[in-house]
Structure 1
Amino acid sequence: MEDEDGGKRVRAKGYGEVDWISNLPDCLICEVLLCLPTKDVVKTSVLSSRWRNLWKYVPGLNFGYRDFQTRNAFPIDYSAFLSFVDRFLGFNSQSRLQSFRLECEFYGYDEPEPGDAFVRRWINSVVRRKVKYLYVSDDSCDVVMPPTIYTCESLVSLTLSGLTLPSPKFVSLPSLKVLSLGIMMFADDDDLALETLISRCRVLESLYRVVTLYIERNYLCDNIEVLRVCSQSLLSFTHVADGLEELVEDLLLVIVDAPRLKFLNLRDGRIENFILKNPSSLVKADIDTEFNLSCGKKFDPNDLQKRNMIRNFLVGISSIKNLIIASSTLEVIYDYSRCEPLPLFRNLSSLRVKFYGYTWEMLPIFLESCPNLQSLVMGSTNYQEKEGINILSEPRRVLSSSLKYVKIERPLKGEAMEMKLVSYILENSTALKKLTLCLDDSIKKEESVIFRELLTIPRLSTSCQVVVL
């Protein structure tokens, strides 16, 4: 089929041979192309005369250095990559830009004009074009961002990783609502740079600090040891650090002072001290940290500073309604509970526990501090299984009279500690309506002794239904 210009039209396979794609308006096609790498967007120009110039009007640019690998995958054709981005930014250079995504790496690139000079020029260009969504990542940690990154008044979302940032002497980001920062350094080793940047983003709602270090790549360019988050507008804060088990460096201190904060996601075992100020607005938390007590370090009951920190942290999150917590964190809480009573989580109605293997034994201690809990889900992670603490043999009190729904997602194999956990829940839950269990594929439900044993465990709640998946 030909269009009015004689070019071949793009035919979308579907019901009744209707060419749905060509019938779409240009603005909608550009939104679809916005999801593709820019190099692929350019290729659409050969589809027909209708598509010949559409790529020029796509409101977003997505460049990745991996798109310029040679046939043998390595090395990267840096000259082609740099030339392509340079030329593309020249098209419609005066028009506004909705999004700009750049993934680069300049290992071994040694030319008269270094790679970071190109990046600075590109960033300055997109800032002038009033970009709204900006993502820049450099796997080599060699690129130094220009100061204009702090004065882009159109920015709504900013993601930076593997970069060196200038000290924020002047910040004007009146539209920035989402800030995501990965591995990075601040020039001049400015200890207050990150705190300054966050505090001057006046309408910031979501802050992500996601650090993934790979020892084999020697990604040790991050110089943030004290993380201070002070924001009057922040609603959501995520701090995640992966791949750090073998690192000696610790994140010594995290301070969060955000009176409007509703969601806290914390996953970093290196944290020595965590201070949560003004936590009254907190509704949901996802916690996975050992407070620097992993890798052979043990909880010391005589360490009053550590005990005070854990107490203050637990009190700070005790008003939340929804909690996701790792079993490694529960182990620290259990050790702490042998020294001091846990605070009551009176508002907690939904609890999800992520277990390493079958280490469920420390859970009852925490459940006794949740008098109004209604829903409990016990999931699992892919982390290496650990030895649990055998405390289920100790006498336990009746569980919350409000607990109605329990689900154990990890497939049961019929091991002794699993059966003890199921018995504990059924025999101590007065208002339980439904217990959902998953059996391992190796166990045939109808013929299994374990299946029959599960169904005959005494139940304190006469209305409890046991569902086996």
Structure 2
Amino acid sequence: MDGARRKRVRATAKRSRGRRTSEGDLISDLPDSLLCQVLLKLTTKEVVRTSVLSRRWSNLWKHVPGLDLENRDFPDHNTFVSFVDTFLGFNWESCLHNFKLNYDCDGNYEPEPEIGLIKRWVNTVVDRKVKHLHVWDDSNGSWDVMMLPTIYTCESLVSLTLCALTLPSPKYVSLPSLKVISLVVMKFSDDALALETLISRCPVLESLSIGRSFDDNIEVLRVCSHSLLSFTHIADGSEDLDEDLVVIVDAPRLKFLKLSDGRVASFILKNPSSLVKADINTEFNLSFGKKFDPDDLPKRIMLRNFLVAISNVKDLIIASNTLMVIYDYSRCEPLPLFRNLSSMRVKFYSYTWEMLPIFLESCPNLQSLVMGSTNYPEKEGIDILSGPRRVLSSSLKYVKIERPLKGEAMEMKLVSYILENSTGLKKLTLCLDDSIKKEESVIFRELLTIPRLSTSCQVVVL
């Protein structure tokens, strides 16, 4: 190789090394303030691990304005406490973006010392004007920690997530920035009053999620908010509980409603005109052998008002157990029209389809229908052919059955019902079980030969 060529090779290699070095150091060129914002996306355990990257990174984690920890991340209680105290001591005059603590008082941790620590730490982060506070007690619902009233006057707070704690009765509430509240199996020192007061005195609250405990003793829950956009209410049912609980929602700007509830008997929605999407999975406390009684006039009125309240939604997710209650109700009163409904997903426990055609009659502008399934145990199917066939709306264009079909009788009747009664259907998507996916299978050929009312309908088999 001549001298000129050697020079060209060395120059090319030098430029290549320079590019690699420059590209490799791009993140190191960022200012500390921006790097800390990036590290906020990680858990504290992951952030601390970055200290081994270089000398510059060795102390960077101390300046990240947030903590996200579980006490299980530490070998013992003292190490855990020492780390949190040390972290909160760093930059103690600066504001905290988030404080997320998941802890478990059971096992090797003594509950009493932990209670005092949680209170002290929450007070500290409130003093440091925390924006996002998340305290999750994983101690099997001990509710040992009573939150201090200072939580009601944290004016910097934007989101609040609490689990298995106890909220005190608020004497004064000043939460001008709080937009998100998530409360899971909480207790309240004076039943519903503490919760209702908290909700009503958050002027910019947009999202509220409540997961009820079995013994919260709130018989009537009132949710009143002029700013609320999203409300989720979750409560598991039990055949040991015979309750007549009521939830009243008065939120004129509410756009999204989710009910996953086995306990509450009455849902009352006031001012529902802004509601766009609903996810409904409730039996209105008509489970565990209890049946809808047509002679129960208050129940009928409640169901009528509830259906009218959600009838303006454009997007609906509904469970088959809710559809069963609606089906029973429809035998004594006509259903309201869901004129705006364009997209619906039905979550079925099994192939209990009889109630579906009845409800579809009330959806004249439905365009997309997805039929999913849940992981709950199978229930006995109902023959959808027991009543007269109903031609589906011409607006229905797309149907998908997500549950893998095995070729059972009820499945085939459902597919036949859709194809033979849909005038405007463009596409039916089916998911087949692996056992019948072969094109030569009898079930596969039968699916493709079912008559179709819509000549332009395409059947897609996944």
Residue by residue over 1:85-133, the C-alpha shift from the partner in whole angstroms, topping out at 9 and shown as x without a partner, is: 122211111001111101123237558x732221111111111111111
- Secondary structure of the equivalent of 1:114? helix
CA contact (8 A) 1:185 1:224 kept: no
- Of 337, 341, 347, the residue aligned with 2:340 is 347
- Say whether 1:35 aligns with 2:50: no
Write out the 4+ residue segments of structure 1 that deviate beyond 6 Å after TM superposition: 14-17
> How far 1:61 sits from its partner (Å)?
0.9
- Say whether 1:61 aligns with 2:67: yes
361-370 vs 40-49, which moves further: 40-49
> In structure 1, what is the Cα distance between the partners aligned to 2:402 and 2:22?
45
CA contact (8 A) 1:142 1:164 kept: yes
CA 424–124 in structure 1, closer or farther in 2 if over 3 Å, else same? same
Partner in structure 2 of residue 210 of structure 1: 211
- Of 248, 272, 277, the residue aligned with 2:241 is 248
What is the number of residues matched between the two proteins?
439
Residue by residue over 1:115-170, the C-alpha shift from the partner in whole angstroms, topping out at 9 and shown as x without a partner, is: 22211111111111111111011123211111111111111111111111111211
> In structure 2, what is the Cα distance between the partners aligned to 1:51 and 1:123?
28
Equivalent residue letter for 1:414: G
Equivalent residue letter for 1:96: C
- Say whether 1:466 aligns with 2:446: no
- Say whether 1:278 aligns with 2:271: yes
> In structure 2, what is the Cα distance between the partners aligned to 1:379 and 1:207?
27
Equivalent residue letter for 1:54: L
- Of 26, 34, 39, the residue aligned with 2:32 is 26
- Say whether 1:96 aligns with 2:95: yes
- Say whether 1:199 aligns with 2:192: no
Partner in structure 1 of residue 406 of structure 2: 413
- Of 218, 234, 246, the residue aligned with 2:228 is 234
436-445 vs 32-41, which moves further: 32-41
- Of 142, 145, 165, the residue aligned with 2:144 is 142
Residue by residue over 1:52-85, the C-alpha shift from the partner in whole angstroms, topping out at 9 and shown as x without a partner, is: 22112101111211112x4xxxxxx222222221
149-158 vs 351-360, which moves further: 351-360
- Secondary structure of the equivalent of 1:272? strand
> In structure 2, what is the Cα distance between the partners aligned to 1:170 and 1:136?
22
> In structure 1, what is the Cα distance between the partners aligned to 2:98 and 2:402?
40
Equivalent residue letter for 1:146: L
> In structure 1, what is the Cα distance between the partners aligned to 2:420 and 2:40?
56
- Say whether 1:365 aligns with 2:358: yes
CA contact (8 A) 1:423 1:457 kept: yes
> In structure 2, what is the Cα distance between the partners aligned to 1:445 and 1:254?
51
CA 101–305 in structure 1, closer or farther in 2 if over 3 Å, else same? same
CA contact (8 A) 1:439 1:445 kept: no
CA contact (8 A) 2:346 2:372 kept: yes
Identical pairs, percent: 76
CA 17–177 in structure 1, closer or farther in 2 if over 3 Å, else same? closer
- Of 181, 184, 202, the residue aligned with 1:182 is 184
CA contact (8 A) 1:184 1:223 kept: no
TM-score, normalised on structure 1? 0.89
TM-score, normalised on structure 2? 0.90
Cα RMSD (Å) of the superposition?
A: 2.1
5+ residue gaps, structure 2, are 1-19
> In structure 1, what is the Cα distance between the partners aligned to 2:451 and 2:147?
65
Name the one with the larger helix percent: 2
> In structure 2, what is the Cα distance between the partners aligned to 1:36 and 1:350?
36
- Secondary structure of the equivalent of 2:174? coil
Equivalent residue letter for 1:165: L
Compare CA radii of gyration and give the structure with the larger one. Answer: 2
CA contact (8 A) 1:186 1:223 kept: no
> How far 1:17 sits from its partner (Å)?
8.0
CA contact (8 A) 1:180 1:209 kept: yes
Residue by residue over 1:158-216, the C-alpha shift from the partner in whole angstroms, topping out at 9 and shown as x without a partner, is: 111111111121111101111111111112x24322111101000101111134x6xxx
> How far 1:21 sits from its partner (Å)?
4.3
CA contact (8 A) 1:224 1:251 kept: no
